[in-house]
Amino acid sequence: MTDRGSAARRPEHLSAVPDPEPGPAPGPDVATCLRDVARGDERAFARLYDLVASRVYGLIRRVLRDPAQAEEVAQEVLVEVWRTASRFDSTRGSATSWIFTIAHRRAVDRVRAEQSAAERTMKVGSASMDTPYDEVADEVAGRLERQQVRRCMDDLTELQRQAVTLAYYQGHSYREVADLLEAPLPTIKTRMRDGLIRLRDCLGVGVTAS
Amino acid sequence: MTATDIHALVGAYALDAVDDLERVAFERHVTECESCRIELDELRETVCRLADDAWSVPPPRLREQVLAEVGRTRQLPPARKPRPDRRVESWRRWATAAAAAVVLAAGTGVSVWQVQEQRVQDQSVLAEQAQRREARTRQILAAPDLVVRTAPVVGGGKVTVASSAQYDAGVMMLGADGPPANGRVFELWTLRGRTATKAGLLDPGVGSAVRVIDGLPGNDGFGVSVEPPGGSPQPTQIVANVTLT
């Protein structure tokens, strides 16, 4: 399933056949669907939905935790993908990454909106900011098992890994991450950047690749 | 903040871990720095891999809901690559719409904004932004029943409101001389009687904008206020007020 080599060798025409399994789909299919969606093709959108909805919903739910809110935000995101499909620029990255960027941004926006509402009404002190990040890191590490990402995450320093996971999966700002990890702001900024760079090199991510 | 400071945010930005002000500053930085843009694109692609594992089956109704909403949602046209002649064309088209509006509005005896060549040129930057937005903006500006009104903004600049009863919408063009100081932001309001309803929020550091305001013609007025980042439940410091009745 994750053997990228055999997927790449698969004859081109086979990729047009709908995948009966609701599983992660090969990149080109998402890109092809998105291109057709940009031309107003609703059937292509339905296919795109089947390819990405579980991951979009899963990511948003991971960040927000609350299934009802996740559903609401996932709907906004997927409609946004339809609405703005023509703005996708393939020279700047893959279609999948474009969709997840929208999804993650929306999820984080929702977290921030809730936080500012909560801070206004209850003057949240340090108590609720005291997120048990070990637990988060463990959970994330557990879920990433058997994945290349996991292996690459293991190559990061402890601080890099915590900074990246607290921001990405918890929706924390780098200031909050600095508070949680009791580290200076510039250090956290730097760890986020060099952590991602190391991850990029380990995963062999290139923008033009997919 | 220097360019180096800003660029250090590339990781935090890719992780959506910056605040709104930094987001705007970083996005501006990236438009001016090709190598930074490439680094950002690569880090974003990397970050996207972190989502590989976040997998959760959504409720089946989500599919129906999304497909139904898609069926009634208009898509954006492709983003235009900036081309010199396009720019001229776009403000000219805008000017035509505005001029047509003034002719019609003058017929109804409403006191409106007078179109002068220089003023139209002043608005050309705003008009360019309008052209880049949804086709809807152009549609409203070209409405046969468009009425254009303008009011000064405290601190310099003006706000122009073009409203069409036929489309039950208006286009708001704010051209303040500068953004509010101290990281505060412009917030937009529709006013009916004594009730102010939120109609949009500008980003920090932004002093001009073009926005479509749905349902605008049903209101008595349109206001612009200066608020802390994130906006306020009610306007605290009104800086422009356009009467619509």
Name the residue among A70, A147, A177 with its Cβ closest to that of B17.
A177
Identify the closest residue of chain A to B132 by CA–CA distance. A87
Residue A198 CA: distances (Å) to CA of A115, A160, B10: 31, 10, 14
**Statement to judge: residues A39 and A117 lie in one domain:** yes
**Statement to judge: residues B162 and B93 lie in one domain:** yes
**Statement to judge: residues B130 and B27 lie in one domain:** no
CA distance B146 to B150: 13
Q: Which of A89, A108, A124 is the last residue of a domain?
A: A124
Residue A72 CA: distances (Å) to CA of A56, A67, A124, B74: 12, 9, 25, 20
In a domain, A45, yes or no: yes
Which residues from chain B sit within 8 angstroms of residue A62, using beta carbons?
A: 54, 56
Which residues from chain A sit within 8 angstroms of residue B6, using beta carbons?
A: none
Phi-psi group of B168: left, alpha or beta (phi > 0 → left; psi -120 to 50 → alpha; rest → beta): left
**Statement to judge: residues B118 and B49 lie in one domain:** no
- Look-up: residue for tokens 């009802």? A68
B88 interface with A at CB cutoff 8 Å: no
In a domain, B14, yes or no: yes
Provide the pLDDT for residue B225: 94
Q: Which residues of chain B have pLDDT under 50?
A: 82-93, 96, 99-121, 125, 127
CA distance A112 to A171: 8
In a domain, A137, yes or no: yes
Domain count, chain A: 2
Residue B69 CA: distances (Å) to CA of A39, A80, B56, B75: 17, 10, 22, 12
Which residues from chain B sit within 8 angstroms of residue A196, using beta carbons?
A: 11, 14-15, 43, 46-47
Residue A147 CA: distances (Å) to CA of A71, B51, B151: 26, 12, 60
* Cross-chain Cβ contact A79/B66 below 8 Å: yes
Mutate to test the interface with A, among B26, B27, B49, B63 (most CBs of A within 10 A): B49
In a domain, B71, yes or no: no
**What CATH number did the domain enclosing A148 receive?**
1.10.10.10
Rounded to the nearest angstrom, the minimum Cα separation between A90 and chain B is 11
In a domain, B72, yes or no: no
* Cross-chain Cβ contact B54/A59 below 8 Å: yes
Q: Which two tokens stand for residue B26?
A: 């970083």
* Cross-chain Cβ contact A78/B66 below 8 Å: yes
Strand pairing report for B221-227 and B208-214 = unpaired
CB count, 10 Å around CB of A42?
13
Q: Note the pLDDT tens digit of each residue in B122-173.
A: 555 454 555 555 567 777 777 777 787 888 898 888 888 888 888 889 888 8
**Statement to judge: residues A104 and A132 lie in one domain:** no
Tell whether pTM > 0.90: no
Domain region containing A189: 125-210
Residue B121 CA: distances (Å) to CA of A175, B95, B100, B186: 43, 9, 16, 24
In a domain, B70, yes or no: no
Closest CA to A195 of A165, A151, A174, A172: A165
**Radius of gyration, CA atoms only, chain B:** 21
Number of Cβ pairs < 8 A linking chain A and chain B: 184
* Cross-chain Cβ contact B48/A71 below 8 Å: no
Rounded to the nearest angstrom, the minimum Cα separation between B199 and chain A is 17
In a domain, B75, yes or no: no
Task: State chain A's mean pLDDT as an integer.
Answer: 77
Q: Which of A92, A124, A156 is the last residue of a domain?
A: A124
**Statement to judge: residues B133 and B195 lie in one domain:** yes
**Statement to judge: residues A62 and A133 lie in one domain:** no
Name the residue among A103, A168, A193 with its Cβ closest to that of B8.
A193
Which residues from chain B sit within 8 angstroms of residue A142, using beta carbons?
A: none
In a domain, A5, yes or no: no
In a domain, B12, yes or no: yes
Which residues from chain B sit within 8 angstroms of residue A71, using beta carbons?
A: 58-59, 62
**Radius of gyration, CA atoms only, chain A:** 19
CA distance A125 to A108: 21
* Cross-chain Cβ contact B54/A55 below 8 Å: yes
Domain region containing B188: 84-243
* Cross-chain Cβ contact A86/B77 below 8 Å: yes
**What CATH number did the domain enclosing A80 receive?**
1.10.1740.10
Q: Outline where A87-129 has alpha helix (H).
A: 95-122, 126-129
Q: Which of A83, A104, A124 is the last residue of a domain?
A: A124
Task: State chain B's mean pLDDT as an integer.
Answer: 77
Least confident of A68-77, A154-163, A165-174, B201-210: B201-210
| pLDDT reading at A179 higher than 90 | yes
Least confident of A22-31, A93-102, B173-182, B183-192: A22-31
Name the residue among A57, A58, A200 with its Cβ closest to that of B62.
A57
CB count, 10 Å around CB of B154?
13
Domain count, chain B: 2
**Statement to judge: residues A102 and A131 lie in one domain:** no
Provide the pLDDT for residue A206: 65
Name the residue among B8, B55, B71 with its Cβ closest to that of A189.
B8
Provide the pLDDT for residue A32: 92
Phi, psi of B201 (to 5 degrees): -135, 130
Provide the pLDDT for residue A151: 83
Enumerate long-range contacts of A21-30, CB under 8 Å, 24 or more apart.
A22/A50, A22/A54, A22/B57, A24/A55, A24/B52, A24/B55, A25/A51, A25/A52, A27/A94, A27/A95, A27/A96, A27/A210, A28/A210, A30/A94, A30/A95, A30/A96, A30/A99
In a domain, A42, yes or no: yes
